[in-house]
Amino acid sequence: MQQQYIDFFRTSRQQIDKACTPLLNSFREEAFASFQRKGFPVYPSENYRHTDVAALLDENFGFYLNHSGREIYPHKVFHCNVPNLNSIKHFVVNGHFLEERNTYNLPQGVFSGSLNVFAEQYPDLFSRYYNRQAGQEEDGLVAFNTMFVQDGYALYVPQNVIIENPVQLTNISDGHHNSLTNRRIIIILEAGAQAKLLVCDHTANDKSLLATTQMVEIYAAENARFDFYELEESSLNTIRLTGNFVHQAASSEVIVNTITLSNGVTRNNYRIDLAGEQAETHLYGMAIVDAQQRVDNFTCINHRVPKCRSNELFKYILDDEATGAFCGKIIVSPDAQKTEAYQNNRNLLGSNKCRMYSKPQLEIYADDVKCSHGMTTGQLDEAALFYMRSRGIPKEEAVLLLKFAFTNDVIQGIRLEGLRDRLKLLIEKRFRGELIKCQGCI
């Protein structure tokens, strides 16, 4: 079925390029050749055992080229105002950055805005970093995204500059018909720079089938600090396919925390390269799924040099006929002595029909390391449930409290207090079966 996309690219190339800077367009031809060779990821394969990308994208999607014809006013529809967060707010609508006049006082030299505008204003930086990590990936989905992407978001923070307030990026997908959007995010932090980014995914229409591919490239130079939080609150009629690539230099620290509260089908890839000594990464993930929702996370953390540390934790709470999958790999190269690497996957099943597939892995080629990995899958602790009920707590409330306690260590990995508090409320609403949407509750 990939032929339909090959034909579409050939016939629509002029329209694809029309609204984009020539520098962004210059990456398409090589990506097109790569997609022709690779196609979509093979299913079932080692890395795609539980997600068939080709089947998911077999629908006759319409693409949002240039700009969609439908007007969306996100400030009126999506009140993404987390209390006490004081964030710098941006919107991407159907893959296109919404240019607005704002009064944010960003530090001198910082760029926070459209990917296309960044390519025009910082061509040397763009050429140096764009697609440097993602383009090396053998996954044909990256090439597909690079072929069709027209815009997205870019954040550049110069050396030793600190952005005190977090940046909040709200991605909105909408359309009268089944549609596919492609977006890109690139983050560049020079030496000593610090920033925090919250990305929220929403759909404004739950009638049409809305598919999205998103590729994120993060570069943390020496002594840089970066927090990357993702919150997915979409509908059952959504397909979300992402690739996240992180490159860390010496003594840098990166936190990646992704939470799925409502979705249709989600597949997230994470590849993190610890390329400088004393680099540290924290990778957290959580999914709360029921009905027939699916969440599949694949992670690979490469320890390439000595004295680096990684901590990875993914948790799933499944009910009804939901499906979860986790495949995590930590690779410690022969030169990466004094590595500390920890990986854990814990899953809570609420019915006999839901399914969880887990495959934690370690590949260690050095002998002076501290590494561990583990996985547990089970149901609520009956003894704890009995104890709480014996103290007069109704069963439904006791179940909710135990589920909420299960999520605690992932939530505590968030260093934005306002976001942490808001997530506690959203998770409680999710467990109570209440409708979760950004408008009205945030």
* Residue 36, helix vs strand vs coil: helix
Predicted pLDDT at 441: 36
* pLDDT per position as a tens digit, 267-320: 999 999 999 999 999 999 999 999 999 999 999 999 999 999 999 999 999 999
Sequence ranges of the domains in the chain: 2-378
DSSP code at position 148: H
Could you give the maximum distance between any two Cα atoms of the chain, in Å? 69
Predicted pLDDT at 434: 77
Predicted pLDDT at 440: 36
Q: Is the pLDDT of residue 128 over 50?
A: yes
10 Å Cβ neighbour count for 417?
12
Predicted pLDDT at 168: 94
pLDDT band at 102 (very low <50, low <70, confident <90, very high): confident
**Phi and psi at residue 81, in whole multiples of 5°?**
-120, 85
Which tokens hold the place of 135?
A: 């383009």
Lowest-confidence segment of 237-246, 302-311, 421-430 by average pLDDT: 421-430
Which tokens hold the place of 350?
A: 């609420």
CA distances from 53 to 90, 133, 214 (A): 29, 21, 14
Specify the pairing of strand 339-349 against strand 369-378: parallel
Task: Read off the pTM.
Answer: 0.95
Residue 384: left if φ>0, alpha if ψ -120 to 50, beta else—which one?
alpha
* pLDDT per position as a tens digit, 387-421: 889 989 998 899 989 999 999 999 999 999 899 99
CA distances from 95 to 174, 271, 397, 435 (A): 10, 23, 41, 25
Cα separation, 391 vs 59, in Å, equals: 53
Residues 6+ apart with CB under 8 A from 3: none
Q: Is the pLDDT of residue 81 over 70?
A: no
Residue 210 · residue 232 · CB < 8 Å: no
Lowest-confidence segment of 49-53, 176-180, 226-230 by average pLDDT: 176-180
pLDDT band at 344 (very low <50, low <70, confident <90, very high): very high
Task: Please give the full DSSP string across 53-121, using - where no structure is assigned.
Answer: HHHHT-S-PEE--S--SS---HHHH-----TTT--EEEEEETTEE--------PPTT-EEEEHHHHHHH
Residue 331 · residue 302 · CB < 8 Å: yes
Which tokens hold the place of 216?
A: 């994120």
Quick one: average pLDDT of 339-367? 97
Q: Is the pLDDT of residue 224 over 90?
A: yes
Lowest-confidence segment of 166-180, 188-202, 362-376 by average pLDDT: 166-180
pLDDT band at 435 (very low <50, low <70, confident <90, very high): low
pLDDT band at 71 (very low <50, low <70, confident <90, very high): low
Quick one: average pLDDT of 370-397? 91
Cα separation, 248 vs 221, in Å, equals: 6
Residue 27 · residue 146 · CB < 8 Å: yes
Q: Is the pLDDT of residue 174 over 80?
A: yes
CA distances from 384 to 350, 392, 395 (A): 15, 13, 11
Cα separation, 41 vs 138, in Å, equals: 9
Q: How many residues does the chain have?
A: 442
